[in-house]
């Protein structure tokens, strides 16, 4: 599945795989979490573990999307 980043279907140069857009979003979220973690040193260990588990789940889902896209392309 491809995502039109500019909303312009005339220019195919702006299209990218949905998995790439998702991975970029996850990377941005991770960076924000690191920044927030540095400013909020009092976060509990339990909350940190929940967040790690959530990130593992999101990464798993991204891998599934990538596999789906490969199968859809016939690879």
- Domain chopping of the chain, boundaries: 16-73
pLDDT tens track for 47-70: 888 889 999 999 999 999 989 999
Q: Do the Cβ atoms of 21 and 3 come closer than 8 Å? A: yes
Average pLDDT of the chain?
A: 77
Task: Tell me how far CA of residue 49 lies from CA of 8, 26, 31, 38, 46, in angstroms.
Answer: 41, 17, 17, 16, 5
pLDDT at 13 exceeding the cut of 80: no
What is the average pLDDT across 31-52?
75
């Amino acid at each position: 599945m491809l995502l039109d980043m500019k909303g312009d279907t005339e220019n195919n140069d702006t299209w990218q795989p949905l998995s790439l857009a998702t991975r970029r979003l996850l990377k941005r979220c991770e960076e924000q979490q690191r920044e927030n973690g540095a400013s909020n040193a009092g976060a509990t260990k339990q909350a940190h573990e929940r967040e790690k588990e959530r990130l593992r789940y999101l990464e798993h889902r991204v891998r599934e999307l990538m596999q789906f896209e490969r199968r859809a392309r016939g690879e």
